[in-house]
Amino acid sequence: MQDRSLSRRIVLASATVVAAGAAGVVGVTATPAVAHKRDRRLRRIISGMSIEAKIGQLFVPYFYGTSATSPSQFDQDRNLRELGVRTVAELIAKYHIGGVIYFSGWANNIQGPRQIADLTNGVQRASLALPTPVPSLISIDQEHGANVRIGSGATQLPGAMALGAGRSLSDARTAGRISGTELAALGIHQNFAPVADVNVNPANPIINVRSFGADAREVGRMVAAQVAGYQQAGVVACAKHFPGHGDTAEDSHTGLPVITHTREEWDRIDAPPFRAAIAAGVDSIMTAHLQVPALDPSNEPATLSPTILQGVLRDELGFDGVIVTDALNMRGVRTKYGDDRVPVLALKAGADQLLFPPDIDVAYKGVLAAVRSGEITEDRLEESVLRILRVKDKVGLLSGSPFVSPKEVDRVVGARRHQLAAARIAGRTTTLLVNEDEALPLRRGQKKLLVVGASPAFPTDGTRTTVPELAKAFDELGYSTTHLATGRTPDTVKIDEAVAAAQGRDAVVVTTDNVGTTSTQRTLVTRLLATGVPLVHLAVRNPYDIAHLGGIPASLVSYCWTEVELHAAARVIAGRVDPRGKLPVPIQRADDPAEVLFPAGHGLSYDH
C-alpha cells in the first residue's frame, strides 16, 4: 500500500493536531492555507466535470456480483432487472458514479479478501475510464459484532456494546484501527461506523447492541476513540444515525419512527456523541430516517429536513464534512415523497452522498431534472462534490494509485497480530451478571458439559452457528462437550430433548437470544434448572435477556455471537480469563420497568 502511506505522509505533513476534548483522542485537520490550496486544486477537477458527472459523484448505489465486469448469469440478470445494466462497471459508466457500497449475502459482493481486492480494482478501473477520471470512494457497513459484511478471512472484532462494556478507549481505538487497516488494504475507504446512537430504549429493534451503551458521555468517548482509530488507518469514519436513533421501538427500515425527546433531552441524550465525533475530526455523518418534532416541528424525516441537517448539524454543531443519507430504499424516508423527489429533497436539506437509492435511474434523473430546472443550483451541487473530493483526497485516492495489492491483502487482512489483539479485547468485554455461591468459574471436576439453546448463525456465514461454535471453544479448552441447538422458539419436543441431554453432564451452558415475555426460551431455562445440573446462562446478544429469567445461578453476556466473542465467553466461564465487562446499559425488571434490576456499570469478577 505504497500510495496509502504516501497519502498519509502528505496529510500529516500539512496538518495540525487538534484536541478532541474529554475524549482524550486527537483529530487531524488541515491549516487554512493548506485547505485553501487543496480546495483550489479540487475545484479545478470539478470545473472539468459535466453536470452529469457532478451528479454521479453524489450517488453510492448497490449492485450484484463478485466481479466488476463478469458477474454470474444470476447476478447479471438481477443487475439488468434492478439497475438496467449488467455489471457495476457499466453502472459507473452510465451514471458517472462516484462511490459504491459492498454487501455480503443478498448482493453477493463478498466472498473473501482476494476476491474483494479484485472487485475493488475492477471498480477503480471503471472509475478511471470515465471522461473525468476520479476514483470511487468504496463504502461498507463493517461495524463488527452483530453487523458485519466481511467475515471469513478478515479479523472479527467485538461490536459496539461489547466495547462499551469493556470501558477502554484504547481498545475501542485499537479495534477501529485494526478494522480500518484491513479495509484500507482491500481498497475500502469509507466505513459506515461507528454507531453514535445512545440506546436508552431496551425495546429498540434496530440499534440495540450496535450502540456503545445508554450513557451519552460514555458513548461519546467511545465514538471519538473509534473515529480516531479508523481515520488513523486511512479510512473515512461515519458517525450515525443523526440526530439519534437510540430511543425508538420502531425500525426505520419498515416505518417512520418518531423521537419524542424535548430539545433539552436531545441536547443531553442524543447530541453528545455527535459532538464528540465532530471534535475528533469525523469526516462523515449519516442521517436517520425519523421525525424529531423538537428539532423540526414540520415533522419532515431528518434526512429531508433543512432545519435538522443545515440548521442543527452544520450551523449549530459546526460540521462541514460529508453528510451521508441512510439508505434511500428504507420505508422511513419514502412515506411522503416519490423516489425521484427523495434525493432532491435530501440534497436541498444539506446531504452530500445519496446512499442506496431504490431505483438509480429514477433517482439520478430526478436530481438531473432539479439541477436543469434551477431547483438545485450548480453552486449547491458543487458544494457536495467538493466535500466528497476532500475525503477522497484525504485518503489518498487523488494523489496515488487507487489499486490494491494482493500481496498487501495477504499480509494485512486477518493478520495473526490482529487476531490476537481482537481476542485480548474480547476477553475484557464479557460481563458476569450473576454468580450465586461462586458457581463460576467451572470447577476442576466439571469437565462434561452440555451446550444448548438459541443458536443464531454467524452474521456473515450461515453455515456456522452459535451452539456448535461455543461447544468447540470449550473442547479446545479441554472439556468433553456435547451440544444441542434448540433455536429461539424451542418447542416441547426440543425442550424435552435438551432436558434428557443434560442427564449425566457436570454442567449445562444455555444460550439465549432476545428473550421476551412469551418466549419459550424461558421454558427451556426453567426446565433445565429443574434437572439440578449446574446451569450457566449466556445471553449471546441482548443483555436484557436476564430480566425475563428467574433463579439463574450464573449469567453472563457476550453482546454478540461471533467467534471472537463466543471464545472469550468460554474462557471466562472456564476461569482462564477474569470477567472484566461492566454493563453499558441498565437492565430493568421485566414486570416493573421502573425498577432497575442491574444498573449500568454492574459487572462481577472472580477476584472480587
Residue 253 exposed, middle or buried by CB count within 10 Å (0-12, 13-18, 19+): middle
Q: What is the 3-state secondary structure (H, E, C) of 195-258?
A: ECCCCCCCCCCCCHHHCCCCCHHHHHHHHHHHHHHHHHCCCEEEEEEECCCCCCCCCCCCCCCE
Active-site choice (251, 253, 361, 578): 253
Active-site choice (197, 270, 283, 326): 326
User: Is 603 domain-assigned?
Assistant: no
323: which strand partners? Answer: 285
| Per-residue pLDDT, 120 | 98
Q: How many domains does the chain have?
A: 2
Residue 171 exposed, middle or buried by CB count within 10 Å (0-12, 13-18, 19+): buried
| Per-residue pLDDT, 19 | 30
Alpha carbon 178 to chain centroid distance? 14
Cell of 591: 414486570
Domain that includes residue 575, residue range = 430-598
Last residue of a domain, one of 382, 412, 442: 412
| Per-residue pLDDT, 476 | 98
Alpha carbon 9 to chain centroid distance? 28
399 in the same domain as 507: no
The kind and range of the H/E element at 481 are strand 480-485
What is the length of the chain? 608
Last residue of a domain, one of 412, 446, 478: 412
Please compute Rg for the chain using Cα positions.
24
Distance separating alpha carbons of residues 583 and 247, to the nearest angstrom: 18
From the list 539, 530, 551, the residue with the least C-alpha distance to 510 is: 539
558 in the same domain as 448: yes
Give me the average pLDDT of each 10-residue run along the chain (608 residues).
34 30 42 94 98 98 98 96 98 98 95 97 98 97 94 94 98 98 98 98 93 98 98 98 92 88 98 98 97 96 98 98 97 93 98 98 98 98 98 96 96 98 97 97 97 91 89 98 97 98 98 95 98 98 96 97 96 97 96 93 90
Find cell 457476550 and name the residue.
Answer: 558
Sequence-distant (6+) residues with CB within 8 A of 500 are none
SS3 453: strand
SS3 90: helix
436 in the same domain as 405: no
502 in the same domain as 399: no
Cell of 343: 434525493
Torsion, CA 282, CA 284, CA 285, CA 286, rounded to 10: -150
Task: With beta carbons less than 8 A apart as the criterion, state whether 163 and 429 touch.
Answer: yes
Distance separating alpha carbons of residues 285 and 156, to the nearest angstrom: 24
474 in the same domain as 385: no
| Per-residue pLDDT, 2 | 36
Task: With beta carbons less than 8 A apart as the criterion, state whether 239 and 254 touch.
Answer: no
> Tell me, what CATH number does 484's domain have?
3.40.50.1700
User: Is 24 domain-assigned?
Assistant: yes
Distance separating alpha carbons of residues 566 and 407, to the nearest angstrom: 31
147 in the same domain as 68: yes
User: Is 421 domain-assigned?
Assistant: no
Last residue of a domain, one of 377, 412, 447: 412
521 in the same domain as 394: no
From the list 520, 391, 287, 551, the residue with the least C-alpha distance to 57 is: 391
The answer to whether residue 602 is catalytic is no
Amino acid at 448: K
User: Is 516 domain-assigned?
Assistant: yes
The dihedral through the CA atoms of 389, 394, 396, 399 has a sign that is positive
Amino acid at 69: T
Distance separating alpha carbons of residues 603 and 608, to the nearest angstrom: 11
217 in the same domain as 93: yes
| Per-residue pLDDT, 591 | 87
User: Is 420 domain-assigned?
Assistant: no
342 in the same domain as 442: no
User: Is 362 domain-assigned?
Assistant: yes
Distance separating alpha carbons of residues 577 and 428, to the nearest angstrom: 8
147 in the same domain as 223: yes
| Per-residue pLDDT, 1 | 36
User: Is 223 domain-assigned?
Assistant: yes
The answer to whether residue 326 is catalytic is yes
Angle among Cα 378, 382, 388 to the nearest 5 degrees reads: 155
513 in the same domain as 393: no
Distance separating alpha carbons of residues 226 and 220, to the nearest angstrom: 10
> Tell me, what CATH number does 364's domain have?
3.20.20.300
User: Is 423 domain-assigned?
Assistant: no
468 in the same domain as 371: no
